[in-house]
Amino acid sequence: MVDTNEKMSWINVIKIAGVFVSWAIGSGSVTGQASLQYFCGYGIWGYAGIVVEALLHLFLLISFFKLGHRKQFKSPLDIFTYYCGDKVGKVFQLLAMGLLYSAPVVMISGFGAALNQHFGMPSRLGSVLLGILCLVTILLGLKKLVDIIGSIGPFMIVLTIGTGIYYLTQHMGGVAAGIEMAPTLNLSRIAPTWWLAGLYYTTCTPLQSAPFFSATAKSFKVRKELIYGAIVGVIFYAAADIVMASALFANIEEFSTMMIPNLYLANTISPILGFIFIIVIFMAIFSSCAPSMFTLCASFCEEKTPAYNKFAVILVIASVLCSMLLPFDKLLGLVYGVYGVLGGIFVLFMIAKQIQEKKAA
């Protein structure tokens, strides 16, 4: 699709922002495990790390939306050869396929861990349930996927921020002490410094987000909607990171021992809220997991063909089985730690390509 003279729709802006928030909040953010590993472990400097990740997220998201809207790539993975050239681009395509497979494995494991912590149910049962829902969704195709995750994103972000703010009103006195104590605790830290952690928080995602968001841009005619949607989405996502990190600081010694700290936080407010938060965790993990699986399927097969459907079934079964191999927190650190470095290299290629284009213009 190309830009038209159609008036910008704020409903579409909210939908686009919702797609980003739903995708980004994922298993790490909504469970609180990412906040511990990327931000809280660095004390007060964790907030500066959130600023770093927000600015880089905005740059990447607008870049992917603009390029996808302009180029209308036939395959989602073509974005890598555009930025990196044929040879290096092919390498990044292979790396991206690895992440598009391994990221859902982490997310499925995260949902199994959440069910186990809250209900005492076997983690494997939760993994199977999420796998079934993802399969049904990706079989419906891109348009339905965008509609579904775009509509649940605003609900998730409002409830997440609301839960964190309410907890803070009851425990504000513990935040300062938690900020001071956090660097002394035996927390898993994704990087040796706060600014590197902020970069890794974002650079672990481009190999996964670039193909999905460039494909998403094809579903919208008005480019301005994509840009405004990116801005709104990143602002609300960063706000959620700040609120939830602050809430974890308020009782950091206890939360640092939890596999799913945000769920424990919700349960301390009310068992009913804890149950609702389980649903939010499920939606958040689903809305990050399904796009990765869809992108991988669409990279090999045309949507809604027998080959696409068979590939989807095999992919989901393999992802569920692999999610049972390691605990959630170990999987999170392993997968996203490695891809944080690889994604950073890809971002450098992006910047170089954009500079080259500006000089040639």
Q: Supply the pLDDT for residue 59.
A: 95
Q: How many CB atoms lie within 10 A of CB 87?
A: 8
Kindly state whether residue 359 falls inside one of the protein's structural domains.
Answer: no
CATH number assigned to the domain comprising residue 95:
1.20.1740.10
- Rounded Cα–Cα distance for residues 175 and 47 (Å): 13
- Rounded Cα–Cα distance for residues 237 and 161 (Å): 9
Kindly state whether residue 203 falls inside one of the protein's structural domains.
Answer: yes
Helices 86-119, 328-360: axis angle to 10 degrees equals 150
Helices 45-71, 328-360: axis angle to 10 degrees equals 60
Q: Supply the pLDDT for residue 200.
A: 85
Which tens digits make up the pLDDT trace of 104-145? 777 777 777 777 777 777 878 888 888 888 888 888 877 777
- Rounded Cα–Cα distance for residues 124 and 269 (Å): 28
Range(s) of the domain holding residue 177: 11-354
Residue indicated by tokens 């790396």:
95
Kindly state whether residue 4 falls inside one of the protein's structural domains.
Answer: no
Which tens digits make up the pLDDT trace of 217-261? 988 889 999 999 999 999 999 999 999 999 999 999 988 888 778
User: Above 70 in pLDDT, residue 331?
Assistant: no
Q: Supply the pLDDT for residue 275.
A: 85
Kindly state whether residue 2 falls inside one of the protein's structural domains.
Answer: no
Which tens digits make up the pLDDT trace of 59-68? 999 999 999 9
**Cβ burial 330-353 (10 Å sphere, 16+ → b, else e):** ebbbebbeebbebbbebbebbeeb
Which tens digits make up the pLDDT trace of 281-312? 778 778 778 888 888 888 888 887 899 899 88
Q: Which residue has the higher pLDDT, 140 or 53?
A: 53
User: Above 80 in pLDDT, residue 53?
Assistant: yes
- Of the listed ranges 188-197, 235-244, 316-325, the least confidently predicted one is 316-325
Kindly state whether residue 361 falls inside one of the protein's structural domains.
Answer: no
Kindly state whether residue 206 falls inside one of the protein's structural domains.
Answer: yes
Q: Supply the pLDDT for residue 330.
A: 64
pTM here is: 0.81
Residue indicated by tokens 């180029």:
71
User: Above 80 in pLDDT, residue 42?
Assistant: yes
Q: How many CB atoms lie within 10 A of CB 258?
A: 18
User: How many CA within 13 A on the CB side of residue 13?
Assistant: 12
- In the chain, how many domains are there? 1
What is the number of helices (H) and of strands (E) in the chain?
Answer: 16, 0
Q: Supply the pLDDT for residue 151.
A: 78
User: Above 70 in pLDDT, residue 328?
Assistant: no
Per DSSP, the three-state class of 12 is helix
Q: Supply the pLDDT for residue 169.
A: 92
Kindly state whether residue 196 falls inside one of the protein's structural domains.
Answer: yes
Q: Supply the pLDDT for residue 229.
A: 95
Q: Which residue has the higher pLDDT, 336 or 239?
A: 239
Q: Are 129 and 108 in contact (CB under 8 A)?
A: no
User: Above 70 in pLDDT, residue 334?
Assistant: no
- Rounded Cα–Cα distance for residues 326 and 272 (Å): 30
Kindly state whether residue 3 falls inside one of the protein's structural domains.
Answer: no
Side chain identity at residue 89, one-letter code: G
Helices 10-31, 223-249: axis angle to 10 degrees equals 30
Helices 123-140, 306-322: axis angle to 10 degrees equals 160
Side chain identity at residue 54, one-letter code: A
- Rounded Cα–Cα distance for residues 136 and 358 (Å): 43
